[in-house]
């Protein structure tokens, strides 16, 4: 059952803010050495699972989800944490959601969904902006970090495409629970070789319980009324939110390259969303 456009817009905006929050929390925790990447991933997924399962219990609702979605969630979360050891919050978010767009739109084209000329132009502008960011030169992203984040983006694309129907909270809770089980080897490795300060642990818990667990449940609700192309495009607004947040909260420098790339990305997203050719 479709919801009103204003409700879908509010759900989508909330999810985008949560996604940007994840980038900021991860960068703050990992860049400062407050926690290692494996510990951050394990705590994040476990906190998300616990938060969602407690909410489901209060509602008397069982968890659902699937192992395929859980594997995609685990792959995304692991690559995401490792990448943020090498990337700034804003740049990491830009690479992540450009890869998400590529994965979701590629799947849509393979399934026969064709955007019209205006939507295609918007997608081309957004992709060109991403290529400009990645060109070799001054302040280009770390290659390994970019590769890890791109892989995380493709895994997130799979997770988003498997949104499905039913209760978003139940599906997200089940996915987080299964992903936490997949995290057990990471948790063991982190216990033996990792480290976690009180601040780093708190940031991981906040990322898992709020901006991940609850944020992803909201995203699954929004996906019920978004096509894959629209869902892929709107996520490219996250880097701009993350860039602003990084400048205000983490004192990161917003480079000319990032500003220009982000501006063109936003223009491409707007053109794609406003076009009626994405359905």
**Position 198 confidence tier, pLDDT thresholds 50, 70, 90:** very high
> Burial level of 237, CB count in 10 A (0-12/13-18/19+)?
buried
Report CA-CA distances (Å) from 31 to 10, 250, 261: 31, 10, 24
- Rounded alpha-carbon distances, angstroms, from residue 124 to 133, 182, 228, 265, 267: 14, 37, 16, 9, 11
- Longest Cα–Cα distance of the chain, Å, equals 55
Q: pLDDT tens-digit profile of 52-109?
A: 999 899 888 888 889 999 999 999 999 988 988 888 766 787 788 778 878 887 887 7
pLDDT grade for 232, boundaries at 50, 70 and 90: confident
β partners of residue 35: 196
* Residues 8-55 pLDDT 10s: 888 999 999 998 888 888 888 887 788 998 899 999 999 999 999 998
- Summarize pLDDT for 62-71 with one digit per residue, the tens: 888 899 999 9
Q: How far is CA 95 from CA 52, 140, 152, 262, in A?
A: 28, 12, 10, 11
Would the pTM of this model clear 0.85, i.e. be above it? no
Judged on CB neighbours under 10 Å (0-12, 13-18, 19+), 162 is middle
- Does the pLDDT value for residue 133 go beyond 60? yes
Q: Give the separation between CA 17 and CA 147, rounded to whole angstroms.
A: 24
């Amino acid at each position: 059952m479709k919801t009103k456009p204003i409700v879908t817009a509010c759900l989508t905006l909330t999810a985008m803010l949560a996604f940007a929050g994840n980038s900021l929390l991860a960068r703050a925790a990992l860049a400062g050495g407050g926690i290692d990447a494996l510990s951050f991933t394990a705590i994040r997924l476990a906190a998300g699972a616990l938060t969602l399962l407690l909410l489901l219990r209060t509602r008397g609702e069982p968890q659902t989800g699937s192992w395929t979605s859980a594997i995609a969630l685990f792959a995304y979360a692991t690559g995401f944490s490792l990448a943020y050891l090498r990337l700034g919050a804003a740049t990491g978010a830009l690479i992540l959601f450009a890869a998400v767009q590529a994965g979701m739109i590629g799947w849509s084209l393979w399934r026969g969904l064709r955007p019209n000329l205006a939507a295609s132009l918007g997608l081309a502008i957004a992709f060109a902006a991403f290529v400009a960011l990645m060109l070799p030169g001054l302040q280009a992203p770390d290659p390994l970090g970019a590769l890890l984040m791109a892989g995380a983006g493709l895994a997130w694309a799979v997770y988003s495409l498997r949104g499905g129907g039913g209760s978003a909270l139940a599906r997200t809770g089940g996915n987080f629970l299964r992903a936490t089980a997949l995290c057990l080897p990471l948790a063991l490795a982190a216990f033996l070789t990792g480290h976690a300060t009180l601040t780093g642990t708190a940031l991981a818990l906040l990322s898992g319980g709020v901006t991940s667990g609850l944020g992803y449940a909201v995203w699954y609700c929004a996906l019920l009324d978004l096509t894959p192309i629209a869902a892929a495009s709107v996520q490219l607004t996250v880097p701009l939110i993350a860039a602003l947040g990084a400048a205000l909260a983490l004192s990161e420098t917003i480079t000319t390259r990032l500003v220009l790339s982000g501006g063109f990305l936003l223009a491409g997203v707007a053109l794609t969303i406003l076009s009626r050719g994405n359905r």
